[in-house]
Structure 1
Amino acid sequence: MKRAVVATAVGNATEWFDFGIYSYLAVTIGQVFFPEMHGPLQLVYTFATFAVAFIVRPFGGMFFGMLGDRLGRKKILSITLVMMALATLSIGLIPSYASIGATAPILLLIARMVQGFSTGGEYSGAMTFVAESTPDKRRGFLASGLEVGTLTGFIAGSGIVTLLSAILGPENMLAWGWRIPFFIAGPIGLIGLYLRNHLEETPAFEALEKANKKNEPGSIKDIFVYHWRSLLIAFIIVFFYNVVDYMILSYMPSHLTAVLGYGQTRGLLLILVVMLIMIPIVLTVGYVSDRIGNLRIIRGGLLGLIFLSIPAFLFIGSGHAWLVFLGLIILAICLACLLGTMPSLLPSLFFTEVRYGALAITYNISASLFGGTTPLIVAWLINVTGNRMVPAYYLVATCLIGVVATYFVKETAGRPLRGSPPAVEEKHEIQEILEEPAEALWWQEEKNKIDKKTEGSDG
């Protein structure tokens, strides 16, 4: 259990290190690959390249997700990690626009699309793996370790960029220093691959294989026909989750630098400190969710953003260091309410035989439409309107939708995953389960309805 959490989190940290350094170097990358553009418009082009990669992400989700339900979670997670590391390494090798002209941004786009394709199977697979490898009563806390891996990857990316910016200075960073973080991705990927190759398959998938020797998971058509309600709920959840996530972790470094005029090193250092503070908060949120449920915490985070996003962005735009920091902390605490709960909530929406595929499909379609485009849309709206408060309004509107969506979700904290028997850590928990067998198989009625529809369709 612990090995599964650590190895998956380390692998996830590798993936988000790769994505993170692109976000933190967005301003520099814009100058290297789009030198003919200037100011906010240059940032729009840079984030357009960031967003275009998300076009292929749903295809990666479908491809790797269906394979994950057929071949197992472990194998697919190793493949996606290698692809991501190689694609990131290649970005550091691409010549600048000044050297090869328009070919440079084209090569950058291809590398980003490979990153997007591999990520399509990575995060949903990581959530599935951790959720299926942990006991029911500790799933929230242990699954939150996955987001600690995400934050660690972002911290490593921002830390390296900040350190290099301070040591090399703007001119050297623009000339060649920006390539160094991308070169680091190769060795980190090898470490993650080693850890993942030494994992065992999840107990839930092994049980499914034993029960169904042919191991024939549902097709994409079956997922959409028989699990459409769960798909729709997950789609909306991923929508508000990713908008908040990408707004705060991916867009904010560039907002501080390109829109508000902060020095690059100063802006990145602020984000770095905020993410370090978020790690214990995320773990605490995961721990508490096992006791009071995921939904209460998620609603609390969303309501916090609805009422506090505008004050937070006013603080951030004030120019006073402590007020800027306070604004970022407000946003970070609200985001932590989502980071600490989503890795345990999202996998619980689907049954074991379709979990990886269904989660990969819905997560990546929603993330591509709304998460990956968030930096681009916000940068474009600021450029068009000239209003620096656009990010706050965007967050408020998104979270209003999110609050409504949570009332259509069943609470699953501390309960078995759909399609799986109870998973316990201590022997004394077995007696509690025997006393309430109906609660242990709370998902049975829902499963029976799906089976009847399936049999009727086959007939």
Structure 2
Amino acid sequence: MNSLNSPQIPFVPHRPLAASDHRTLTLAALGGALEFYDFVIHVFFAAAIGQLFFPPTIPDWLRQLQTFGIFAAGYLARPLGGVILAHFGDLVGRKRMFTLSVLLMALPTLLMGLLPTFGAIGIAAPVLLLVCRVLQGAAVGGEVPGAWVFVSEHVPPRHVGYACGLLTGGLTFGILLGSLIASGVNHHYSHAEIAAYAWRIPFVIGGLFGILSAFLRRWLDETPVFVEMKARRSLATEVPLKTVLREHGRAVIVSMLLTWTLTAAIVVVILMTPTLVAKRFRIDPAAALQANSAATLCLCVGCVVAGMLAGRIGTRRTIFVGCLLLGASYFAMLRHLAADPGALLPLYAVSGFFVGAVAAIPVAMVNAFPPAVRFSGISFSYNVAYAVFGGLTPVFVSLMLKWNPSAPELYVAALSVIGALTSLALPRTSEVAKK
């Protein structure tokens, strides 16, 4: 069985988007933004957390290592959390897991903002921080694939690209929101005030808004696809992941390769580039971060555009062309900065926009797996690949930099080519439409 040619969404294929669809997409994108905000806010206050949650007698390098180790634990927890939530999502319903994932993120985030520090409870402080971080990782592991499945199964097939693009744009907006709030806290409070109490504000805000988002999701309906499968008694009859690994191996491999490209785009172009260009081209760090905010905003727009294109010209073409434009724009940006560092903001904005091409990747994954095991298939492929490649990419690029200062653009260019070539394994638009 070729799972890449599995049926897409089997209901009312030609109806227009209704008001209920727009409500669903808006709430899903809002919840995704808040959940990603909760997941990344830790890194913006890593310095304060390291000082407050670890023994004051240890060296700074060890404190920093332990702080980022706890941050990395969230990534390691993603595959397990994603598999568990997806398992029940395929068996008992998308909506329940969709609501649970945001609540599972909000409560630990709120708790992190209220935790006593090392000075108050000793070694229990970093242990509790680690537990909260692991719960956050488990939550985001279920949220991202669960959100893609949820929105794609609510809209007609021709609008799946737009739905996934809007949702992915919401997720990336969460990164920008975290950066802006962190900048606001650092601007309005002194270092002493941040260490005393102000570092808690973003966590408490994120936790409270996350709880509100979970409450709002209660008003969403179960996806028509799941309701139809339940009525026809066509839900998975065995562990969904077992079926995925046995019958949809090709879809898993293609999804993992596309996720690898996605990690290169997000981790290198969006997360690592401000530090890389500041050091390499002697650009003011504040200017680099300002350009990064512009790039992330353009990324949000690019996600929606890529999603809409995937619905109009096909996922295969969108990923192929988008990956090549991403690699070319990032390569050109870093080469041009060597001669004109002042052009960072517009060039970075263009690269950020083309990073949005990754929003077509979830559309490909939705089409790759049949509804009965769709949640488990996407969750396993995406989370395992993201945990491996997302975790190793900074290390690999850093090691490459020792031998070649052009390592970032070469790595992104190579992964862009891999993504473009992998897209050729996807079915053509006409082939999907016939299913």
- For the aligned pair, the TM-score class normalised by the smaller chain equals 0.7 to 0.9
Partner of 1:427: none
Distance 1:162 1:411, change over 3 A: farther
Q: For residue 92 of structure 1, give the secondary structure of its aligned residue in structure 2.
A: helix
Partner of 1:90: 111
Q: For residue 134 of structure 1, give the secondary structure of its aligned residue in structure 2.
A: coil
The answer (yes or no) to whether the contact 2:110–2:208 under 8 Å persists in 1 is no
Partner of 1:425: none
1:108 Cα deviation from its structure 2 partner: 3.1
Matched, 1:335 2:355: yes
How far apart, in 2, do the equivalents of 1:249 and 1:130 lie? 25
1:352 Cα deviation from its structure 2 partner: 0.5
How far apart, in 2, do the equivalents of 1:26 and 1:380 lie? 23
Q: Deviations over 1:10-29 (max 9, x none)?
A: 11111111123234334554
Q: Deviations over 1:302-341 (max 9, x none)?
A: 2234334333235567784x422134223212211112x1
User: Which has the larger displacement, 278-287 or 246-255?
Assistant: 246-255
Matched, 1:11 2:31: yes
Q: Deviations over 1:5-48 (max 9, x none)?
A: 11211111111111232343345545655775668x97665544
CA-based RMSD:
3.1
Q: Deviations over 1:101-130 (max 9, x none)?
A: 665444433222111111121111100011
Matched, 1:289 2:310: yes
TM-score by length of 2: 0.84
How far apart, in 2, do the equivalents of 1:255 and 1:29 lie? 24
Partner of 1:271: 292
The answer (yes or no) to whether the contact 2:316–2:423 under 8 Å persists in 1 is yes
How far apart, in 2, do the equivalents of 1:108 and 1:60 lie? 18
Partner of 1:445: none
User: Which has the larger displacement, 298-307 or 58-67?
Assistant: 298-307
Partner of 2:152: 131
Aligned counterparts, 1:3-402, within 5 A: 3-26=23-46, 28-29=48-49, 46-96=67-117, 104-212=125-233, 216=237, 218-253=239-274, 255=276, 266-314=287-335, 320=341, 322-339=342-359, 341-379=360-398, 385=402, 389-402=406-419
Unpaired segments of 5 or more residues in structure 1? 417-438, 443-459
TM-score by length of 1: 0.80
How far apart, in 1, do the equivalents of 2:127 and 2:278 lie? 25
How far apart, in 2, do the equivalents of 1:355 and 1:9 lie? 20
How far apart, in 1, do the equivalents of 2:337 and 2:183 lie? 20
The answer (yes or no) to whether the contact 1:162–1:268 under 8 Å persists in 2 is no
Aligned residue pairs, count: 413
How far apart, in 2, do the equivalents of 1:54 and 1:348 lie? 26
Distance 1:214 1:314, change over 3 A: closer
Query: Which amino acid letter does the alignment assign opposite residue 309 of structure 1?
Result: Y
Distance 1:193 1:161, change over 3 A: same
User: Which has the larger displacement, 220-229 or 257-266?
Assistant: 257-266
Distance 1:266 1:86, change over 3 A: farther
How far apart, in 2, do the equivalents of 1:371 and 1:58 lie? 12
